[in-house]
Structure 1
């Protein structure tokens, strides 16, 4: 079995977790503060506010911006569902635009036509760790007086035109689920240079506690979105190793790119030359005429971890029921989604394992063609 993903953990992570356990402070302690300060320094942000998931971070930003019933936020249908759900949590409406077929990010040329008097923000997603063209998004936001929320959950360490993602809008979020570049088990972090957003998010994550921090003093409706000390300890250790971690993932991605170029029927990711990629997953796309689901099933039977990435958000059952979306509404997203497949990708993947994956894909493509 070659798994789809796996965290990169060392003795340093174990030592810091044990340090927390020995301290007896498991929440709202020094490791959380240390992790926040280190993350703020890493991306060049004034503030970093840790939380228990990337979804929580996105929700708090939407709430802090005052986005509410009847408001609209423009985003992508090709993403993990949380990037749209966080808008619905505040009873606002996600408004989708289709994607660019080459990068899989939002098609920025379609954004302006989607803006209405109810539009309050743009929420771009740096899909699979490839930055969106944030220069053009910021220009549109300035022109139409809109806020920008960066979903950087898949893109820690990525840069657009040399600038770190996460702080290219009003606020951004990174996530640290175990399949991400770095992990805290469960967890996320908001980064921003906006004083008001930061103040509100510090309060919102901790049940709306007031800025004076008084125990059981709650000045607004808040949430239980705190990050625990054990997760923060993992974050401290992982962030100390972030350059090593990202380099290891780039090594694996480069080997895949090199070896798959010779495989007929595989479409490889196209990286914008202005983007510095942070590899979250490695997703291949099958050419028209190949049955992705059949190939996926057979790869799984051979012990090759794989999964479709992504299922379009607008075709999720809840979104169809809520908004009446139908197949054909966002044709590029649907065409891409029907052909994409995430294959094994993690830091310690060996070249021998990579060769096994590539050979298996090549053989299953040939088998699928023979059966068609």
Structure 2
């Protein structure tokens, strides 16, 4: 059995080249048709943007969907439209992309970091209430890696305290919790169509909601403050141009046709890979069975224990695994609150109270995930075959054999 690691000149365990994005001539033709029409932008004379919005709203089981420039903008528009004021507090997890917290700053509000669950890496409902104050206005749970948060618990807390819930579903297109599509459970759900996402057009974002008043306000904010029935040069809110183009909408409509089949493939592979990894000492897949009815596996995440790999650091392990041909990554190097922008409060002109201080914030589980545990396998690899999953597991075993020999 070959124990020479690829990093040291050995043969790679995995040789599959995982394609992303996935497209065919139908996508090319659809975009070409829009290009030839000469109607590329928005206002949407062709109705292509509106069609995608309606289709995605129906897909999520929501009344309304509104596209916008990207997922970060989607979160900010949703929060602003909910009527927050400078200094209001918003509860967010520390283990997520920085935009979940930075958009709170951009809305002149204060991110309050609440730790994550150790077995799912999602916001821990049991720790939320202790963080609620008179200034708390909203909660932004993140369905991290495509695994649904405990939405029953979060919504119950929100209802008890009169808080709004914005689902960050940037990883969760097609995911579901107790039969309901992720994004459709809170007061608003936000999606990203950035190039790494399970549904993508290079860039773009979208918000779903059942609240007509909220939808109208968000729509105005993304369209330079214009309102339904108003004039083109009549502006009611301090909005900006955050619209997407007809080219993006066309590409998204074509990609949406593949989403369910791709999600099923990722989920089947994720379950199989967990079965393969569970017996390996020092490797613990994140747990499922918490109410999710569809896990989108935007990331496949497992917890790594270096004591079972002769002290090999998480960073070294992830690099060694990637060298074996597994599209693997060590994930976030630190929780959001330890990023320089938060430690130094480099918030420019935003109206954040002077007493806000992130230098003493500590979320134990998030820190452990960043520094010691969490290893990611990227979503396009989860569109491989069962044989690919077997090779991923074999690559991990190979590393363990090599470093413990």
For normalisation by structure 2, the TM-score amounts to 0.86
Matched, 1:278 2:296: yes
* Secondary structure at 2:112 match in 1: strand
Number of the residue aligned with 1:330:
363
- The offset of 1:163, in angstroms, is 1.5
Matched, 1:12 2:39: no
Matched, 1:305 2:327: yes
Matched, 1:320 2:353: no
Number of the residue aligned with 1:343:
377
- The offset of 1:262, in angstroms, is 3.2
Matched, 1:295 2:330: no
**Structure 1 pair 3/203, CA: closer, same or farther in 2 (3 Å)?**
farther
- Provide structure 1 residue ranges, at least 5 long, that are not aligned to the other structure: none
* Secondary structure at 1:221 match in 2: coil
Count of aligned positions: 370
Number of the residue aligned with 2:4:
none
Number of the residue aligned with 2:208:
191
**Structure 1 pair 66/181, CA: closer, same or farther in 2 (3 Å)?**
same
Number of the residue aligned with 2:83:
66
**Structure 1 pair 169/345, CA: closer, same or farther in 2 (3 Å)?**
closer
Distance in 2 (CA, whole Å) between partners of 1:278 and 1:151 is 14
CA contact (8 A) 2:322 2:329 kept: no
Match 2:152 to one of 128, 135, 138: 135
CA contact (8 A) 1:5 1:345 kept: no
CA contact (8 A) 1:156 1:278 kept: yes
Number of the residue aligned with 2:398:
363
After superposition, where does 1:1-372 map in structure 2 within 5 Å? 6-28=20-42, 29=44, 30-212=47-229, 214-276=231-293, 277-289=295-307, 290=311, 291-310=313-332, 311-322=334-345, 324-326=357-359, 329-338=362-371, 339-346=373-380, 348-369=383-404
**Structure 1 pair 266/179, CA: closer, same or farther in 2 (3 Å)?**
same
Identify the range of structure 1 (63-72 vs 5-14) with the bigger mean alpha-carbon deviation.
5-14
The root-mean-square deviation of aligned C-alpha atoms, in Å, is: 2.0
- The offset of 1:4, in angstroms, is 7.7
* Secondary structure at 2:301 match in 1: strand
CA contact (8 A) 1:4 1:344 kept: no
Distance in 1 (CA, whole Å) between partners of 2:102 and 2:18 is 25
Distance in 2 (CA, whole Å) between partners of 1:340 and 1:266 is 10
Distance in 1 (CA, whole Å) between partners of 2:204 and 2:29 is 19
Work out which of the two has the higher radius of gyration on C-alpha atoms and give 1 or 2: 2
- The offset of 1:47, in angstroms, is 0.7
- The offset of 1:328, in angstroms, is 7.4
Identify the range of structure 1 (2-11 vs 74-83) with the bigger mean alpha-carbon deviation.
2-11
CA contact (8 A) 1:105 1:125 kept: yes
- The offset of 1:267, in angstroms, is 0.9
Distance in 2 (CA, whole Å) between partners of 1:217 and 1:21 is 30
- The offset of 1:316, in angstroms, is 1.4
* Secondary structure at 2:166 match in 1: strand
Distance in 1 (CA, whole Å) between partners of 2:393 and 2:234 is 58
Distance in 2 (CA, whole Å) between partners of 1:213 and 1:12 is 38
